[in-house]
Chain A
Amino acid sequence: MTLIELHDVSKRYFLHHKRQLLVEHVASTLRRERNSFWALRHVSLKIEAGEAVAIIGPNGAGKSTLLSIAVGVTSPTEGGARLHGRVAALLELGSGFHPDLTGRENIHLNAALLGYSRQQVHASLESIIDFAGVPDFIDEPLRTYSTGMLARLGFSVAVHLEPDILVLDEVLAVGDEEFQRKCIDRIFEFRRQGKTLLFVSHSAEFVRSLCRRAVWLELGRVKMDGEASDVLAQYRAGTQAFLPVGGGVTTG
Protein backbone atom coordinates (compact mmCIF):
# COMPACT_ATOMS: atom_id res chain seq x y z
CA MET A 1 0.00 0.00 0.00
CA THR A 2 1.27 3.46 -0.90
CA LEU A 3 1.31 5.75 2.13
CA ILE A 4 2.84 8.85 0.60
CA GLU A 5 2.36 9.70 -3.02
CA LEU A 6 3.64 12.80 -4.74
CA HIS A 7 2.67 13.08 -8.34
CA ASP A 8 4.59 15.55 -10.50
CA VAL A 9 4.75 18.04 -7.63
CA SER A 10 6.08 21.55 -8.11
CA LYS A 11 6.18 24.23 -5.49
CA ARG A 12 6.69 27.90 -6.16
CA TYR A 13 7.47 30.48 -3.53
CA PHE A 14 7.16 34.19 -4.02
CA LEU A 15 9.92 36.40 -2.80
CA HIS A 16 9.12 39.58 -1.00
CA HIS A 17 12.21 41.67 -0.82
CA LYS A 18 10.41 44.12 1.35
CA ARG A 19 6.96 44.13 2.83
CA GLN A 20 4.81 45.72 0.17
CA LEU A 21 2.42 48.57 0.72
CA LEU A 22 -1.07 48.03 -0.58
CA VAL A 23 -0.50 50.35 -3.55
CA GLU A 24 2.63 48.52 -4.68
CA HIS A 25 0.98 45.19 -4.01
CA VAL A 26 -1.96 45.98 -6.26
CA ALA A 27 0.33 47.45 -8.91
CA SER A 28 2.63 44.43 -9.00
CA THR A 29 -0.30 42.03 -9.02
CA LEU A 30 -1.76 43.87 -11.99
CA ARG A 31 1.58 43.85 -13.80
CA ARG A 32 1.95 40.18 -12.85
CA GLU A 33 5.60 40.65 -12.16
CA ARG A 34 6.60 39.03 -8.94
CA ASN A 35 9.85 37.42 -8.08
CA SER A 36 9.41 33.76 -7.51
CA PHE A 37 11.42 30.62 -7.45
CA TRP A 38 10.62 26.97 -7.73
CA ALA A 39 11.59 25.08 -4.60
CA LEU A 40 10.47 21.81 -6.19
CA ARG A 41 10.05 20.98 -9.84
CA HIS A 42 8.24 17.91 -11.19
CA VAL A 43 8.95 15.68 -8.24
CA SER A 44 7.26 12.31 -8.18
CA LEU A 45 7.72 10.00 -5.26
CA LYS A 46 5.94 6.95 -3.93
CA ILE A 47 6.58 5.59 -0.50
CA GLU A 48 5.14 2.20 0.31
CA ALA A 49 4.14 0.98 3.73
CA GLY A 50 7.16 -0.38 5.59
CA GLU A 51 9.73 1.52 3.58
CA ALA A 52 12.42 3.71 5.08
CA VAL A 53 13.43 6.53 2.79
CA ALA A 54 16.09 9.16 3.29
CA ILE A 55 16.10 12.46 1.45
CA ILE A 56 19.57 13.81 0.87
CA GLY A 57 20.91 16.82 -0.93
CA PRO A 58 22.68 20.13 -0.36
CA ASN A 59 21.12 23.09 1.46
CA GLY A 60 18.35 24.66 -0.55
CA ALA A 61 17.65 21.54 -2.58
CA GLY A 62 14.00 21.48 -1.49
CA LYS A 63 14.22 18.72 1.13
CA SER A 64 12.20 20.47 3.80
CA THR A 65 9.66 21.68 1.28
CA LEU A 66 9.27 18.11 0.12
CA LEU A 67 8.58 16.93 3.67
CA SER A 68 6.11 19.76 4.29
CA ILE A 69 4.16 18.78 1.20
CA ALA A 70 4.35 15.07 1.98
CA VAL A 71 2.82 15.54 5.42
CA GLY A 72 0.23 18.00 4.16
CA VAL A 73 1.35 21.10 6.01
CA THR A 74 1.54 23.01 2.77
CA SER A 75 0.05 22.27 -0.62
CA PRO A 76 1.87 21.98 -3.93
CA THR A 77 1.58 24.71 -6.56
CA GLU A 78 1.23 22.05 -9.24
CA GLY A 79 0.71 18.34 -9.11
CA GLY A 80 -0.87 16.29 -6.37
CA ALA A 81 0.12 14.95 -2.98
CA ARG A 82 -1.63 12.18 -1.09
CA LEU A 83 -1.09 10.84 2.37
CA HIS A 84 -2.60 7.76 3.98
CA GLY A 85 -2.24 6.83 7.60
CA ARG A 86 -1.36 8.67 10.73
CA VAL A 87 1.79 10.69 10.51
CA ALA A 88 3.99 12.11 13.23
CA ALA A 89 6.25 14.74 11.78
CA LEU A 90 9.16 16.47 13.44
CA LEU A 91 9.85 19.13 10.87
CA GLU A 92 11.76 21.35 13.19
CA LEU A 93 13.09 21.40 16.68
CA GLY A 94 10.24 21.95 19.09
CA SER A 95 7.73 22.21 16.28
CA GLY A 96 4.20 22.46 17.55
CA PHE A 97 5.46 23.28 21.02
CA HIS A 98 4.67 26.45 22.88
CA PRO A 99 7.49 28.03 24.89
CA ASP A 100 5.26 29.17 27.75
CA LEU A 101 3.66 25.79 28.36
CA THR A 102 5.35 23.16 30.46
CA GLY A 103 6.77 20.00 28.97
CA ARG A 104 3.80 18.01 30.19
CA GLU A 105 1.27 20.49 28.83
CA ASN A 106 3.06 20.51 25.51
CA ILE A 107 2.87 16.74 25.32
CA HIS A 108 -0.90 16.94 25.66
CA LEU A 109 -1.24 19.72 23.10
CA ASN A 110 1.10 18.11 20.61
CA ALA A 111 -0.49 14.71 20.89
CA ALA A 112 -3.96 16.19 20.42
CA LEU A 113 -2.79 18.05 17.30
CA LEU A 114 -1.27 14.87 15.94
CA GLY A 115 -4.69 13.29 16.27
CA TYR A 116 -4.58 11.24 19.43
CA SER A 117 -7.32 10.83 21.97
CA ARG A 118 -7.12 11.65 25.65
CA GLN A 119 -6.90 7.94 26.54
CA GLN A 120 -4.01 7.32 24.18
CA VAL A 121 -2.14 10.30 25.56
CA HIS A 122 -2.65 9.26 29.15
CA ALA A 123 -1.61 5.73 28.35
CA SER A 124 1.72 6.81 26.92
CA LEU A 125 2.41 9.90 29.02
CA GLU A 126 4.75 8.18 31.45
CA SER A 127 6.80 6.47 28.79
CA ILE A 128 7.09 9.71 26.82
CA ILE A 129 8.46 11.52 29.86
CA ASP A 130 10.69 8.61 30.68
CA PHE A 131 12.17 8.35 27.21
CA ALA A 132 12.74 12.10 26.91
CA GLY A 133 14.88 11.87 30.02
CA VAL A 134 14.08 15.34 31.32
CA PRO A 135 12.28 14.43 34.57
CA ASP A 136 13.27 17.57 36.48
CA PHE A 137 12.07 19.87 33.74
CA ILE A 138 8.83 18.22 32.71
CA ASP A 139 6.74 20.71 34.70
CA GLU A 140 8.83 23.71 33.71
CA PRO A 141 8.01 25.99 30.77
CA LEU A 142 9.63 24.94 27.54
CA ARG A 143 11.58 28.16 27.15
CA THR A 144 13.85 26.92 29.95
CA TYR A 145 14.82 23.85 27.90
CA SER A 146 18.12 23.47 26.12
CA THR A 147 18.19 22.62 22.43
CA GLY A 148 19.02 19.02 23.23
CA MET A 149 16.13 18.75 25.67
CA LEU A 150 13.72 20.11 23.07
CA ALA A 151 14.90 17.51 20.60
CA ARG A 152 14.45 14.77 23.18
CA LEU A 153 10.93 15.78 24.06
CA GLY A 154 9.87 16.28 20.45
CA PHE A 155 11.26 12.96 19.35
CA SER A 156 9.80 11.19 22.35
CA VAL A 157 6.30 12.48 21.65
CA ALA A 158 6.54 11.59 17.97
CA VAL A 159 7.70 8.00 18.43
CA HIS A 160 5.53 7.07 21.38
CA LEU A 161 2.22 7.82 19.80
CA GLU A 162 2.62 4.95 17.37
CA PRO A 163 2.16 6.74 14.09
CA ASP A 164 2.08 4.79 10.81
CA ILE A 165 4.63 7.16 9.32
CA LEU A 166 7.43 8.95 11.10
CA VAL A 167 8.81 12.00 9.35
CA LEU A 168 12.00 13.56 10.68
CA ASP A 169 13.77 16.63 9.38
CA GLU A 170 17.35 16.58 10.59
CA VAL A 171 16.37 16.67 14.21
CA LEU A 172 18.62 13.96 15.57
CA ALA A 173 21.77 15.94 15.01
CA VAL A 174 21.45 18.05 18.15
CA GLY A 175 21.07 15.21 20.64
CA ASP A 176 24.07 13.84 22.46
CA GLU A 177 25.52 10.48 21.51
CA GLU A 178 23.61 8.56 24.12
CA PHE A 179 20.31 10.08 23.02
CA GLN A 180 21.09 9.53 19.35
CA ARG A 181 21.69 5.87 20.08
CA LYS A 182 18.42 5.70 21.97
CA CYS A 183 16.63 7.30 19.05
CA ILE A 184 18.16 4.98 16.54
CA ASP A 185 17.23 1.96 18.65
CA ARG A 186 13.74 3.29 18.84
CA ILE A 187 13.58 3.89 15.09
CA PHE A 188 14.78 0.32 14.49
CA GLU A 189 12.05 -0.96 16.74
CA PHE A 190 9.58 1.22 14.90
CA ARG A 191 10.83 -0.24 11.62
CA ARG A 192 10.57 -3.78 12.94
CA GLN A 193 6.88 -3.16 13.48
CA GLY A 194 6.69 -2.64 9.73
CA LYS A 195 6.17 1.08 9.95
CA THR A 196 7.28 3.73 7.51
CA LEU A 197 10.05 6.25 7.90
CA LEU A 198 10.83 9.32 5.84
CA PHE A 199 13.67 11.51 6.91
CA VAL A 200 16.11 14.18 5.88
CA SER A 201 19.69 13.88 6.97
CA HIS A 202 23.12 15.15 6.13
CA SER A 203 24.70 12.26 7.96
CA ALA A 204 25.66 9.46 5.61
CA GLU A 205 26.00 7.21 8.63
CA PHE A 206 22.38 7.69 9.71
CA VAL A 207 21.15 7.22 6.18
CA ARG A 208 23.11 4.01 5.70
CA SER A 209 22.10 2.51 9.00
CA LEU A 210 18.42 3.39 8.84
CA CYS A 211 17.40 3.35 5.19
CA ARG A 212 17.45 1.02 2.24
CA ARG A 213 16.37 3.72 -0.13
CA ALA A 214 17.58 7.27 -0.61
CA VAL A 215 16.37 10.11 -2.77
CA TRP A 216 18.86 12.73 -3.85
CA LEU A 217 17.34 16.15 -4.41
CA GLU A 218 19.15 18.95 -6.08
CA LEU A 219 17.77 22.36 -7.09
CA GLY A 220 14.26 21.08 -6.55
CA ARG A 221 14.52 18.04 -8.77
CA VAL A 222 15.06 14.40 -8.04
CA LYS A 223 18.56 13.68 -9.19
CA MET A 224 18.63 10.06 -8.12
CA ASP A 225 16.32 7.64 -6.39
CA GLY A 226 17.49 4.18 -5.43
CA GLU A 227 19.54 1.95 -3.17
CA ALA A 228 20.85 4.10 -0.33
CA SER A 229 24.50 3.09 -0.69
CA ASP A 230 24.50 3.77 -4.44
CA VAL A 231 22.84 7.13 -4.07
CA LEU A 232 25.18 8.12 -1.27
CA ALA A 233 28.22 7.12 -3.32
CA GLN A 234 27.03 9.06 -6.35
CA TYR A 235 26.09 12.02 -4.20
CA ARG A 236 29.48 12.08 -2.60
CA ALA A 237 31.21 11.80 -5.99
CA GLY A 238 28.92 14.54 -7.33
CA THR A 239 29.62 16.99 -4.55
CA GLN A 240 33.32 16.30 -4.63
CA ALA A 241 33.40 17.09 -8.32
CA PHE A 242 32.60 20.69 -7.45
CA LEU A 243 35.71 20.99 -5.36
CA PRO A 244 38.93 22.06 -7.05
CA VAL A 245 41.40 19.31 -7.76
CA GLY A 246 43.59 18.56 -4.83
CA GLY A 247 40.85 19.56 -2.40
CA GLY A 248 40.34 23.24 -1.87
CA VAL A 249 39.08 22.57 1.60
CA THR A 250 41.66 21.85 4.18
CA THR A 251 40.64 19.33 6.74
CA GLY A 252 42.07 18.52 10.06
Chain B
Amino acid sequence: MLRTSHDHLYILYNLIAKDFKIRYRNMSLGIFWSLLNPIIMVTVLTFVFTRIFNNPAIHSYPLFLLIGLIPFNFFTLAWASGTNSILDNAALVKKVRFHREVIPISVVLGNVIHFLIQMVLLMGLMVFVGQGVNRYWLWLPVVLGLEIVFACGMALAFSALDVYYRDTRYVVESANLVLFWLVPIFYSLDQVPREFTILYQFNPLAAVVLACRRIFLDSMPPPESLLRNLTLVSVSALAAGLVIFGQMKKRFADYL
Protein backbone atom coordinates (compact mmCIF):
# COMPACT_ATOMS: atom_id res chain seq x y z
CA MET B 1 0.00 0.00 0.00
CA LEU B 2 1.49 3.25 -1.08
CA ARG B 3 1.08 6.35 0.96
CA THR B 4 2.18 9.81 0.14
CA SER B 5 3.93 12.01 2.65
CA HIS B 6 0.77 14.06 2.65
CA ASP B 7 -1.17 11.12 4.10
CA HIS B 8 1.44 10.76 6.80
CA LEU B 9 1.12 14.40 7.70
CA TYR B 10 -2.61 13.92 8.05
CA ILE B 11 -2.08 10.91 10.32
CA LEU B 12 0.44 12.92 12.33
CA TYR B 13 -1.97 15.81 12.63
CA ASN B 14 -4.77 13.52 13.80
CA LEU B 15 -2.61 11.74 16.35
CA ILE B 16 -1.40 15.04 17.81
CA ALA B 17 -4.97 16.36 17.91
CA LYS B 18 -6.05 13.13 19.62
CA ASP B 19 -3.45 13.45 22.38
CA PHE B 20 -4.39 17.07 22.91
CA LYS B 21 -8.08 16.39 23.15
CA ILE B 22 -7.61 13.46 25.49
CA ARG B 23 -5.17 15.30 27.70
CA TYR B 24 -7.18 18.46 28.14
CA ARG B 25 -10.71 17.19 28.03
CA ASN B 26 -12.26 17.32 31.51
CA MET B 27 -9.63 19.76 32.72
CA SER B 28 -10.82 23.17 33.74
CA LEU B 29 -7.43 24.82 33.35
CA GLY B 30 -6.64 23.05 30.10
CA ILE B 31 -3.44 24.09 28.41
CA PHE B 32 -2.58 26.56 31.19
CA TRP B 33 -1.23 23.62 33.13
CA SER B 34 1.74 23.61 30.81
CA LEU B 35 2.48 27.22 31.84
CA LEU B 36 1.77 26.76 35.51
CA ASN B 37 4.40 24.10 35.97
CA PRO B 38 7.44 26.20 34.93
CA ILE B 39 6.15 29.18 36.94
CA ILE B 40 5.94 27.10 40.10
CA MET B 41 9.33 25.51 39.46
CA VAL B 42 10.98 28.87 38.87
CA THR B 43 9.47 30.31 42.04
CA VAL B 44 10.60 27.42 44.21
CA LEU B 45 14.05 27.13 42.69
CA THR B 46 14.61 30.89 42.87
CA PHE B 47 13.73 30.80 46.53
CA VAL B 48 16.09 27.91 47.23
CA PHE B 49 19.01 29.18 45.18
CA THR B 50 18.90 32.84 46.05
CA ARG B 51 17.67 32.77 49.65
CA ILE B 52 19.06 29.49 50.98
CA PHE B 53 22.06 28.97 48.72
CA ASN B 54 23.42 32.24 47.56
CA ASN B 55 24.21 32.69 43.89
CA PRO B 56 25.52 36.24 43.60
CA ALA B 57 27.39 35.48 40.37
CA ILE B 58 24.17 34.99 38.42
CA HIS B 59 22.10 38.04 37.57
CA SER B 60 18.36 37.92 37.06
CA TYR B 61 18.20 34.39 38.44
CA PRO B 62 14.56 33.65 37.47
CA LEU B 63 15.29 34.34 33.80
CA PHE B 64 18.49 32.35 33.99
CA LEU B 65 16.50 29.44 35.40
CA LEU B 66 13.65 29.69 32.96
CA ILE B 67 15.99 29.59 29.97
CA GLY B 68 17.35 26.29 31.28
CA LEU B 69 14.09 24.89 32.51
CA ILE B 70 12.01 25.28 29.35
CA PRO B 71 14.22 23.21 27.01
CA PHE B 72 14.85 20.72 29.82
CA ASN B 73 11.16 20.27 30.56
CA PHE B 74 10.39 19.79 26.91
CA PHE B 75 12.95 17.06 26.55
CA THR B 76 12.03 15.13 29.67
CA LEU B 77 8.31 15.24 28.89
CA ALA B 78 8.84 14.32 25.26
CA TRP B 79 11.17 11.48 26.13
CA ALA B 80 8.97 10.06 28.91
CA SER B 81 5.66 10.32 27.05
CA GLY B 82 7.32 9.19 23.82
CA THR B 83 8.60 6.09 25.62
CA ASN B 84 5.08 5.16 26.68
CA SER B 85 3.54 6.00 23.32
CA ILE B 86 3.48 2.58 21.66
CA LEU B 87 2.01 0.89 24.73
CA ASP B 88 -0.51 3.70 25.13
CA ASN B 89 -1.60 3.21 21.54
CA ALA B 90 -1.54 -0.58 21.65
CA ALA B 91 -5.09 -0.74 20.30
CA LEU B 92 -4.02 1.06 17.15
CA VAL B 93 -0.79 -0.83 16.69
CA LYS B 94 -2.49 -4.20 17.02
CA LYS B 95 -5.34 -3.51 14.67
CA VAL B 96 -4.48 -0.87 12.11
CA ARG B 97 -1.65 -0.91 9.64
CA PHE B 98 0.33 2.28 9.25
CA HIS B 99 3.89 3.39 9.81
CA ARG B 100 4.36 2.99 13.52
CA GLU B 101 7.07 5.63 13.56
CA VAL B 102 4.43 8.35 13.48
CA ILE B 103 3.24 7.42 16.99
CA PRO B 104 6.32 8.43 19.03
CA ILE B 105 7.01 11.29 16.64
CA SER B 106 3.48 12.63 17.06
CA VAL B 107 3.91 12.54 20.84
CA VAL B 108 7.17 14.47 20.63
CA LEU B 109 5.59 17.02 18.29
CA GLY B 110 2.62 17.38 20.63
CA ASN B 111 5.10 18.41 23.31
CA VAL B 112 6.74 20.78 20.84
CA ILE B 113 3.53 22.81 20.80
CA HIS B 114 3.83 23.46 24.54
CA PHE B 115 7.53 24.07 24.14
CA LEU B 116 6.99 26.71 21.48
CA ILE B 117 4.29 28.48 23.49
CA GLN B 118 6.66 28.62 26.44
CA MET B 119 9.53 29.86 24.27
CA VAL B 120 7.39 32.61 22.78
CA LEU B 121 6.35 33.70 26.26
CA LEU B 122 9.99 33.62 27.33
CA MET B 123 10.90 35.87 24.42
CA GLY B 124 8.13 38.24 25.43
CA LEU B 125 9.48 38.23 28.96
CA MET B 126 12.99 39.00 27.72
CA VAL B 127 11.70 42.03 25.87
CA PHE B 128 9.54 43.03 28.81
CA VAL B 129 12.42 43.08 31.30
CA GLY B 130 14.49 45.09 28.85
CA GLN B 131 16.99 42.46 27.71
CA GLY B 132 15.93 43.25 24.18
CA VAL B 133 16.05 41.31 20.95
CA ASN B 134 19.34 40.52 19.31
CA ARG B 135 20.13 39.05 15.90
CA TYR B 136 21.45 35.86 17.45
CA TRP B 137 17.88 34.92 18.22
CA LEU B 138 17.96 33.62 14.67
CA TRP B 139 20.04 30.74 16.00
CA LEU B 140 17.19 29.65 18.24
CA PRO B 141 15.27 27.68 15.59
CA VAL B 142 18.46 25.78 14.76
CA VAL B 143 19.26 24.94 18.37
CA LEU B 144 15.69 24.05 19.33
CA GLY B 145 15.25 22.14 16.06
CA LEU B 146 18.27 20.01 16.92
CA GLU B 147 16.84 19.36 20.36
CA ILE B 148 13.56 18.20 18.78
CA VAL B 149 15.51 15.90 16.46
CA PHE B 150 17.31 14.47 19.46
CA ALA B 151 14.04 13.97 21.35
CA CYS B 152 12.51 12.16 18.35
CA GLY B 153 15.49 9.79 18.21
CA MET B 154 15.28 9.01 21.91
CA ALA B 155 11.50 8.59 21.83
CA LEU B 156 11.72 6.19 18.88
CA ALA B 157 14.39 4.02 20.47
CA PHE B 158 12.85 3.89 23.93
CA SER B 159 9.25 3.44 22.83
CA ALA B 160 10.34 0.33 20.91
CA LEU B 161 12.32 -1.00 23.87
CA ASP B 162 9.37 -0.35 26.16
CA VAL B 163 7.22 -2.83 24.22
CA TYR B 164 9.60 -5.69 25.02
CA TYR B 165 10.87 -4.53 28.39
CA ARG B 166 8.21 -2.73 30.33
CA ASP B 167 10.83 -1.54 32.82
CA THR B 168 12.06 0.93 30.22
CA ARG B 169 9.70 3.65 31.37
CA TYR B 170 11.15 3.53 34.88
CA VAL B 171 14.65 3.73 33.51
CA VAL B 172 13.61 6.84 31.60
CA GLU B 173 11.92 8.39 34.63
CA SER B 174 15.02 7.84 36.75
CA ALA B 175 17.28 9.14 34.02
CA ASN B 176 15.19 12.30 33.83
CA LEU B 177 15.59 12.87 37.57
CA VAL B 178 19.34 12.47 37.29
CA LEU B 179 19.45 14.75 34.25
CA PHE B 180 17.87 17.57 36.22
CA TRP B 181 21.06 17.70 38.26
CA LEU B 182 23.50 17.01 35.46
CA VAL B 183 22.20 19.66 33.11
CA PRO B 184 23.21 23.17 34.12
CA ILE B 185 19.72 24.40 34.91
CA PHE B 186 19.99 26.02 38.33
CA TYR B 187 23.76 26.56 38.15
CA SER B 188 25.99 27.78 35.39
CA LEU B 189 28.67 25.76 33.66
CA ASP B 190 31.29 28.21 34.97
CA GLN B 191 30.63 26.92 38.48
CA VAL B 192 31.50 23.35 37.47
CA PRO B 193 35.09 22.38 38.33
CA ARG B 194 37.16 22.03 35.19
CA GLU B 195 37.87 18.31 35.60
CA PHE B 196 34.13 17.57 35.40
CA THR B 197 33.27 19.60 32.33
CA ILE B 198 33.73 16.43 30.29
CA LEU B 199 30.35 15.34 31.71
CA TYR B 200 28.76 18.18 29.76
CA GLN B 201 30.73 17.91 26.53
CA PHE B 202 28.47 15.51 24.72
CA ASN B 203 25.30 16.06 26.67
CA PRO B 204 22.98 17.55 24.07
CA LEU B 205 20.65 18.96 26.70
CA ALA B 206 23.48 20.83 28.39
CA ALA B 207 24.48 22.12 24.97
CA VAL B 208 20.95 23.38 24.26
CA VAL B 209 20.75 25.15 27.62
CA LEU B 210 24.18 26.72 27.18
CA ALA B 211 23.36 27.85 23.65
CA CYS B 212 20.07 29.41 24.76
CA ARG B 213 21.78 31.26 27.60
CA ARG B 214 24.50 32.57 25.29
CA ILE B 215 21.87 33.82 22.89
CA PHE B 216 19.44 35.34 25.39
CA LEU B 217 21.69 36.56 28.18
CA ASP B 218 25.08 37.20 26.57
CA SER B 219 23.82 38.29 23.13
CA MET B 220 26.36 35.99 21.52
CA PRO B 221 26.05 33.21 18.96
CA PRO B 222 26.44 29.65 20.26
CA PRO B 223 30.06 28.42 19.95
CA GLU B 224 30.82 26.56 16.76
CA SER B 225 32.15 23.46 18.51
CA LEU B 226 28.96 23.23 20.56
CA LEU B 227 26.79 23.41 17.45
CA ARG B 228 28.91 20.78 15.76
CA ASN B 229 28.67 18.36 18.68
CA LEU B 230 24.97 19.00 19.11
CA THR B 231 24.30 18.31 15.44
CA LEU B 232 26.41 15.19 15.56
CA VAL B 233 24.71 13.77 18.65
CA SER B 234 21.16 14.71 17.60
CA VAL B 235 21.41 13.34 14.09
CA SER B 236 23.06 10.13 15.31
CA ALA B 237 20.36 9.75 17.96
CA LEU B 238 17.65 10.07 15.31
CA ALA B 239 19.40 7.62 13.00
CA ALA B 240 19.90 5.13 15.83
CA GLY B 241 16.30 5.60 16.95
CA LEU B 242 14.97 4.91 13.47
CA VAL B 243 17.14 1.81 13.06
CA ILE B 244 16.24 0.38 16.48
CA PHE B 245 12.56 1.14 15.98
CA GLY B 246 12.61 -0.25 12.45
CA GLN B 247 14.11 -3.51 13.69
CA MET B 248 11.82 -3.92 16.68
CA LYS B 249 8.52 -2.79 15.19
CA LYS B 250 8.03 -5.98 13.23
CA ARG B 251 6.96 -7.88 16.31
CA PHE B 252 5.18 -5.12 18.21
CA ALA B 253 1.76 -6.64 17.63
CA ASP B 254 2.88 -9.94 19.20
CA TYR B 255 3.94 -8.29 22.43
CA LEU B 256 1.07 -5.90 23.01
**Distance, CA A109 to CA B97, complexed state (A):** 13
With A74-B253, A100-B22 already in contact, the answer to whether A85 and B1 are too (CB < 8 A) is: yes
Q: Which residues of A contact B93 (CB under 8 A)?
A: 73
Q: Which residues of B contact A110 (CB under 8 A)?
A: 96
Beyond A68-B94, A98-B18, A115-B3, 11 extra complex contacts between A and B, CB < 8 Å: A73-B253, A74-B252, A87-B97, A89-B96, A91-B94, A96-B91, A96-B92, A100-B25, A110-B96, A113-B11, A113-B92
The yes or no answer to A75 lying at the interface (CB within 8 A) is: yes
Contact partner of B22 (CB less than 8 A), chosen from A72, A86, A98, A115, is A98
**Distance, CA A180 to CA B133, complexed state (A):** 65
Q: Are A108 and B22 in contact (CB under 8 A)?
A: no
**Distance, CA A87 to CA B98, complexed state (A):** 11
With A87-B1, A115-B1 already in contact, the answer to whether A109 and B18 are too (CB < 8 A) is: yes
Q: Are B18 and A117 in contact (CB under 8 A)?
A: no
Of the A-B pairs whose beta carbons lie under 8 Å apart in the complex, a sample of 13, sorted by A's number, is A68-B253, A72-B1, A75-B251, A85-B1, A86-B1, A91-B94, A95-B95, A100-B25, A101-B18, A108-B17, A109-B14, A112-B11, A114-B98
The yes or no answer to B15 lying at the interface (CB within 8 A) is: yes
Q: Which residues of A contact B6 (CB under 8 A)?
A: 117
**Distance, CA A87 to CA B95, complexed state (A):** 12
With A98-B18, A100-B22 already in contact, the answer to whether A115 and B7 are too (CB < 8 A) is: yes
Q: Are B98 and A113 in contact (CB under 8 A)?
A: yes
With A83-B1, A101-B21, A115-B1 already in contact, the answer to whether A73 and B91 are too (CB < 8 A) is: no
Count the A residues whose beta carbon is within 8 Å of the partner chain — how many?
A: 35
Q: Are A74 and B14 in contact (CB under 8 A)?
A: no
With A68-B253, A73-B253, A85-B1 already in contact, the answer to whether A97 and B91 are too (CB < 8 A) is: yes
The yes or no answer to B250 lying at the interface (CB within 8 A) is: yes
- Which residue of chain A lies nearest to B25 when distances are taken between CB atoms in the complex? A100
* Min CB–CB distance B23 → chain A (angstroms): 10
Q: Are A112 and B25 in contact (CB under 8 A)?
A: no
Q: Are B96 and A112 in contact (CB under 8 A)?
A: no
**Distance, CA A202 to CA B68, complexed state (A):** 61
With A86-B1, A100-B25 already in contact, the answer to whether A72 and B97 are too (CB < 8 A) is: yes
Q: Are B1 and A113 in contact (CB under 8 A)?
A: no
Q: Which residues of B contact A83 (CB under 8 A)?
A: 1
Q: Which residues of A contact B22 (CB under 8 A)?
A: 98, 100-101
Q: Are B250 and A117 in contact (CB under 8 A)?
A: no
Count the B residues whose beta carbon is within 8 Å of the partner chain — how many?
A: 30
The 4 closest A-B pairs by CB, nearest first: A95-B95, A74-B253, A112-B14, A96-B96
Q: Which residues of A contact B94 (CB under 8 A)?
A: 68, 73, 91-92, 95
Q: Which residues of B contact A114 (CB under 8 A)?
A: 96, 98
Identify which of B10, B25, B92, B250 gathers the most chain A CB atoms within 10 Å of its CB.
B10
Q: Are B10 and A118 in contact (CB under 8 A)?
A: yes
Q: Which residues of A contact B166 (CB under 8 A)?
A: 19
**Distance, CA A22 to CA B161, complexed state (A):** 13
Identify which of A13, A14, A74, A116 gathers the most chain B CB atoms within 10 Å of its CB.
A74
Identify which of A22, A95, A109 gathers the most chain B CB atoms within 10 Å of its CB.
A109
* Min CB–CB distance A16 → chain B (angstroms): 9
| Residues 1-48 of B at the A interface (beta carbon under 8 Å) | 1, 3, 6-7, 10-11, 13-15, 17-18, 21-22, 25
Q: Which residues of B contact A54 (CB under 8 A)?
A: none
Q: Which residues of B contact A19 (CB under 8 A)?
A: 166
The yes or no answer to B195 lying at the interface (CB within 8 A) is: no
- Which residue of chain A lies nearest to B95 when distances are taken between CB atoms in the complex? A95
Contact partner of B18 (CB less than 8 A), chosen from A14, A71, A105, is A105
Q: Which residues of A contact B250 (CB under 8 A)?
A: 75
The yes or no answer to B224 lying at the interface (CB within 8 A) is: no
Q: Which residues of A contact B11 (CB under 8 A)?
A: 112-113
The yes or no answer to B254 lying at the interface (CB within 8 A) is: yes
| Residue interface bits A160-176, CB-to-B below 8 A is 1, else 0 | 00000000000000000
- Which residue of chain B lies nearest to A114 when distances are taken between CB atoms in the complex? B96
- Which residue of chain B lies nearest to A169 when distances are taken between CB atoms in the complex? B95
**Distance, CA A91 to CA B10, complexed state (A):** 23
With A113-B11, A117-B6 already in contact, the answer to whether A91 and B95 are too (CB < 8 A) is: yes
